[in-house]
Amino acid sequence: MASLLLGSLLMVALAINPASSKLVLEEGYTVSTVIDFNKFSSPPANRVHPYAIVPLLSSRDLVLLDSTGSTFYTLSFPSSEDKEAEIKHLSGNDKAEFLDGDAKVSSFNKPKSFAVDEAGNVYVADRMNYVIRKINRSGFTTTIAGGYSRKIGITDGPAQNASFANDFE
């Protein structure tokens, strides 16, 4: 009886505050701000809402996704500390649409994630268009999968006939 009671008291305690005994604070790390977008005063940097960042394998640059604006940027790190990072538009026109072509024409619809290959091409899970897009180094955008189907589904096969979920990454 006593141990049963103890058992149920413990369960209650765990249910009310499950995380309290599970924090493991590991010391020895340092945090520093690399880029503060609030400090930029001119476009495009001052309207970027960073959502995801992936390094370009061939350089020190990063590819940055502004998911709110459905737009991609590249970030170049300065050669010395007194210079600012450079933010360049890569692809997307700040509108949630579906258009391929040149950097300024192309548009995406709320992509959440992307990958980069060794040549610097960016592959985008264009979530609300249900397709996979490719952005080349010049910012030219094409649709490489789901272009025929363009609907929610789980179809495999030739890429343009394939379909994806609306939360795929």
Ligand X SMILES: *[C@@H]1O[C@H](CO)[C@@H](O)[C@H](O)[C@H]1NC(C)=O
Binding residues (CB under 6 A) for ligand X: these are 136-138, 140, 148, 157-158, 161
Nearer to ligand X (CB atom), residue 69 or residue 139: 139
For the CB of residue 134, give the shortest distance to ligand X in the complex, in Å.
Answer: 9
Q: Which tokens in the block code for residue 16?
A: 């009310």
Nearer to ligand X (CB atom), residue 83 or residue 137: 137
Which residue matches tokens 């009671």?
Answer: 5
- In sequence order, what are the residues at sequence separation of 6 or more whose Cβ sits closer than 8 angstroms to the Cβ of residue 111? 65, 67, 70, 124, 125, 126, 127, 133
For the CB of residue 145, give the shortest distance to ligand X in the complex, in Å.
Answer: 12
Nearer to ligand X (CB atom), residue 45 or residue 72: 72
Q: Closest Cα to residue 127, out of 138, 139, 140, 114?
A: 114
For the CB of residue 49, give the shortest distance to ligand X in the complex, in Å.
Answer: 26
List b or e across 60-85, with b for residues whose CB sees 16 or more CB atoms inside 10 angstroms. Answer: ebbbbbbbebbbbbbbbeeeeeeeeb
For the CB of residue 105, give the shortest distance to ligand X in the complex, in Å.
Answer: 12
Nearer to ligand X (CB atom), residue 69 or residue 147: 147
Nearer to ligand X (CB atom), residue 111 or residue 147: 147
For the CB of residue 73, give the shortest distance to ligand X in the complex, in Å.
Answer: 17
Q: Closest Cα to residue 154, out of 167, 143, 144, 142?
A: 167
